[in-house]
Structure 1
Amino acid sequence: MIEEKVKIPQATSKRLPLYYRFLQNLTNAGKKRVSSSELSELMKIDAATIRRDFSHFGALGRKGYGYDVQYLVNFFRQTLDQDEVTDVALVGVGSLGNAFLKYNFHKNHNTRIVLAFDPKAPVEGHIISGIPVFPPSMLKEKMLEFNIELVLLTVPAQVAQEVTDKVVKTGIKGILNFTPVRLAAPENVRVHTIDLSVELQTLIYFIKNDVKDSHM
């Protein structure tokens, strides 16, 4: 986990998992050292931005040498708590929720779905893709039993806030929201929203404007 005393910008924090992933790929390829310009070319992030991001953590590299790849991998693994797996609950087993259950994250990340909830599940629960699924009536009991602090929310938009109100009462710390609703939650619960329709519309906008710019 990133310590609170390390004051780094939110934009930098969001890039840290990307750095870790690309550095792991370099390690697997046998790369021993890398420059910010090489990372820039690989990641399509400005080299100055990379150097600025890394500078928040002190001297990670040496002038004229670049960065030691294995050192950076170890550093970001510790910074991101990659060796500690976080258990996650999924609320809403529709098409997207089912896809998450089949994929599960622990294969490639330090998170794993261990519990899910869906109105169609029986009271005694059933298993989907190896994950126990229970009805919403069992939410509080099971969330506390599994000691869940992070939730993936993939419910219909019309019930998103209602479900959020219920899950925050279990003492969770974060919600990754895949609904288009802007959720209201207590200050001690961090909510990150991924609105797929907005992301798609944004991509279409940029593509169309790229075409316009190419004809100017």
Structure 2
Amino acid sequence: MKEVEIPKATARRLPIYHRYLRFLHEAGKRRISSTELSEAVKVDSATIRRDFSYFGALGKRGYGYDVEYLLEFFGRTLNQDRLKNVALVGVGNLGQALLNYNFSQSNNVRISAGFDVSEGVVGRIVSGVPVYALDDMVEQLKVQQIELVILTVPQDKAQDIADMLVEANVKGILNFTPIRLSVPKEVRVQNVDLTNELQTLIYFLDNNR
């Protein structure tokens, strides 16, 4: 069977569906329609049906979707049965907030190592996570076989550290800096620019009045 390429927009919505399906399952819900799911996740029902259609016949006309089946299916699709260790580079205010974040909503993500230059955190356990010196980062990432990194460093250091991450064979970077990183094409970068998102929100508020 020919493999179908899943659009990026659809892939971004899968964790949202999975998280809400888990809530439904824990509440004892057995089945749900695309309309009900639409109201809960704020995605229109036509989009939900189209997203699901990429994976074959997941529901039945007149019945809807089996909650337990969808939960298990998207769990396998998102590799929820396989733990992903993630490193945090930059254990400042934002970094420590992320360490304190409750990742229990995701069964397969755990921050297992932190890296920084500050003597105040290096060599300590912060929110249950050991923090190593930045000088040891490349070696530790290779030894611990960590391929995913959250980057929360000053913007003037971001590219240099990204180069080190490439050297350490990192395959994915969640970039919280405003700098657009230059990395090889096999390294995936997801940018999270909080200032840009806030300014965009302000723009829409000001122009919708």
**TM-score higher than 0.5 here?**
yes
Partner of 2:77 in structure 1?
Answer: 79
Within 5 Å, give how 1:56-205 maps onto structure 2. 56-103=54-101, 105-106=103-104, 108-121=106-119, 125-205=123-203
**Residue 67 of structure 1 aligns to which amino acid in structure 2?**
Y
Note the C-alpha offset of 1:121.
Answer: 3.8
**SS of structure 2 residue aligned to 1:179:** coil
1:34 and 2:32 are equivalent in the alignment: yes
Partner of 1:210 in structure 2?
Answer: 208
Note the C-alpha offset of 1:60.
Answer: 0.3
Note the C-alpha offset of 1:206.
Answer: 1.9
Alpha-carbon distance in 2 for matches of 1:93, 1:208: 35
* Residues 152 and 178 in structure 1, CA contact (< 8 A), matched pair in contact too: yes
Alpha-carbon distance in 1 for matches of 2:151, 2:121: 20
Residue deviations 1:26-76, cap 9 Å, x none?
112211111111111111111100000000000000011111111100100
* Residues 150 and 175 in structure 1, CA contact (< 8 A), matched pair in contact too: yes
Equivalences, count: 208
Q: TM-score, normalised by structure 1?
A: 0.91
Q: TM-score, normalised by structure 2?
A: 0.94
**SS of structure 2 residue aligned to 1:100:** helix
Aligned counterpart in structure 2 of residue 45 of structure 1, from 21, 43, 46: 43
For structure 1, which runs of at least 5 residues remain unmatched after alignment? Answer: 212-216
Q: From the superposition, tell whether residues 72 and 103 of structure 1 become closer, same or farther in structure 2 (CA, over 3 Å).
A: same
Residue deviations 1:157-203, cap 9 Å, x none?
11101110111101111000000111110111000000000111111
Identity of matched residues, %: 56
RMSD across aligned C-alpha pairs, in angstroms? 1.8
Alpha-carbon distance in 1 for matches of 2:8, 2:199: 24
Give runs of ≥4 in structure 1 deviating > 6 Å.
none
Alpha-carbon distance in 2 for matches of 1:116, 1:123: 9
For structure 2, which runs of at least 5 residues remain unmatched after alignment? Answer: none
